[in-house]
Structure 1
């Protein structure tokens, strides 16, 4: 930092070409300023000012240093500003985990909302199951993750509000249970005799167990089970007649060969929370949680919960044109 101070003093003298005016501008006495310049000249092994005449002039070496010093000091100023903004959560990279079953339209709405709040924060999105995310969060391999609720209190994580997105059953359109299609409620007991397509237990053990317990409590005992880690595989298995599945409506929205019907009662619930390390949390987590919670709870995205196949209304603001997507994000599905 002594060199930076010397360069700052040198730059003012180089601009003023007068030690008295430079000292006044710097708020210091002239003798110590002259001493600092002499120290800098000794350190660099060159003369920076021609003092042989009544008017102080830069030497060729001093002229080169003035340009370099200005650039260096400007870079240091920019560095300080970026570091301060990163500490406030306004700049930098935020590593976020998302579950494979998160609908693309919902993810897009979250990205758009977050970009409006923190346009210069780059989201590095990585697709992991809840179990994988919790392991990475514990080791600070992720800054935040959207995981299934509840969390283990001993995990050393903080979490945001509990989110309960719309949840229902995906059925082949040819199924007798499809009824009139999208919108009509269906009870779990009506699924008796059906097979079930669900995520592997190791992906989210608590959700898996709660789902099967709720099914049994309501009289639905799946005749067989099939597992799928991704929404695409889940839809394929449902279309092929390998069972029904529980999901968010936006997952089934683009597939005309299935219908989605809300469950009655609202169980099993797909409870989600954003979690992040309790120790040294990333400052950009707060605006992310605020943006994502509003979207996932359906604020301003009513089209996501009720739109039918082929309906692109989720890509538009209510009553307006398509929503712009100024996303500063990288998505990693590895």
Structure 2
């Protein structure tokens, strides 16, 4: 039995993309999702409507008669939806070549220059405006229509958003060299040997899920001095390094994380790489902007 009460605009958009691109793989690239996600979306749509919408063969995908009927109506609905969103959010009044990109703290220094250089070569008409902010603030700005793409350490579970992993960083410890001499083994530090130190972390309000993940890993290795800085301002590199230099604390950072370290401090990899920081590019699932798609493509690892 058909259940057409829950058809979403993103499902219609995926179906139309498959028809316009001629197949699942091309549609997945266009929408920046996996091929399996596109396939599952179309199958779900067919179950909800109780009819086959696509015929798949060696030549690709084409619409059934019912699919052709749906495609005509879906394109009208998508156009009306996008027009309504643009009017409410004011996006329709922005320059068509402008993409507003959020950037988190301690973002790898090589990613944005590489991304912007590629866009300048391939899309000279496109202008990217950067906004540095915490993950929580970026997601709020994305929801309010003030950002087009958020680079965030927290992955939203809301189906209104799509996301793709753009950065994968293995975290190490920043330690006073005198402390490192006592805890490191073969140039690496077992995380449990930091149990007597305090973690100089970041405010939980900046990235709640990532903060909770790190805290759980640290506590699992005996590091219990995890201070909740939920009401604090962002911890600056200067504050972090000053606390570490006192010999009673440690920081976490990716290799080449920022300014050169003072002579009395060092960065050390952790044994077995227990802490991995991931940064996702997040955007509205119903976006049809080719400029946003171009920025997302340039952000992809290895692009």
Indicate the residue corresponding to 1:152 in structure 2: 157
Equivalent position SS for 2:193: helix
Indicate the residue corresponding to 2:127 in structure 1: 122
**Deviations, residues 43-79 of structure 1 (Å, cap 9, x unaligned):** xxxxxxxxxxxxxxxxxxxxxxxxxxxxxxxxxxxxx
| Residues 269-280 of structure 1: pairs in structure 2 closer than 5 A | 269-280=276-287
User: Could you tell me how far 1:223 is from its partner in structure 2?
Assistant: 6.8
Asked if structure 2 preserves the Cα contact closer than 8 Å seen for 1:137 and 1:144, the reply is: yes
* Matches of 1:109 and 1:240, distance apart in 2: 37
Indicate the residue corresponding to 2:143 in structure 1: 138
* Matches of 1:242 and 1:233, distance apart in 2: 13
Asked if structure 2 preserves the Cα contact closer than 8 Å seen for 1:105 and 1:250, the reply is: no
Asked if structure 2 preserves the Cα contact closer than 8 Å seen for 1:100 and 1:231, the reply is: no
* Matches of 1:178 and 1:287, distance apart in 2: 49
Structure 1, unpaired ranges of 5+: 1-86, 301-334
Q: Are residues 273 and 136 of structure 1, via their aligned partners in 2, closer, same or farther at CA, if it must alter by over 3 Å?
A: same
**Deviations, residues 202-253 of structure 1 (Å, cap 9, x unaligned):** 0000011110101111222227567744444433433344621111112256
Indicate the residue corresponding to 1:290 in structure 2: 297
Asked if structure 1 preserves the Cα contact closer than 8 Å seen for 2:203 and 2:228, the reply is: no
Pairing 1:191–2:194 present: yes
Structure 2, unpaired ranges of 5+: 1-91
Pairing 1:244–2:254 present: no
Equivalent position SS for 1:276: strand
Indicate the residue corresponding to 1:69 in structure 2: none
CA RMSD of aligned residues (A): 3.1
Asked if structure 1 preserves the Cα contact closer than 8 Å seen for 2:166 and 2:299, the reply is: no
* Matches of 1:223 and 1:177, distance apart in 2: 23
Asked if structure 1 preserves the Cα contact closer than 8 Å seen for 2:198 and 2:223, the reply is: no
Q: Are residues 107 and 197 of structure 1, via their aligned partners in 2, closer, same or farther at CA, if it must alter by over 3 Å?
A: farther
* Matches of 1:253 and 1:160, distance apart in 2: 28
Q: Are residues 209 and 198 of structure 1, via their aligned partners in 2, closer, same or farther at CA, if it must alter by over 3 Å?
A: same
Q: Are residues 117 and 185 of structure 1, via their aligned partners in 2, closer, same or farther at CA, if it must alter by over 3 Å?
A: farther
Per the normalisation by structure 2, the TM-score is: 0.59
User: Could you tell me how far 1:147 is from its partner in structure 2?
Assistant: 0.4
Aligned residue among 195, 207, 211 for 2:210? 207
Structure possessing the higher radius of gyration over alpha carbons = 1
Per the normalisation by structure 1, the TM-score is: 0.54
Aligned residue among 216, 219, 223 for 1:216? 219
Asked if structure 2 preserves the Cα contact closer than 8 Å seen for 1:196 and 1:242, the reply is: no
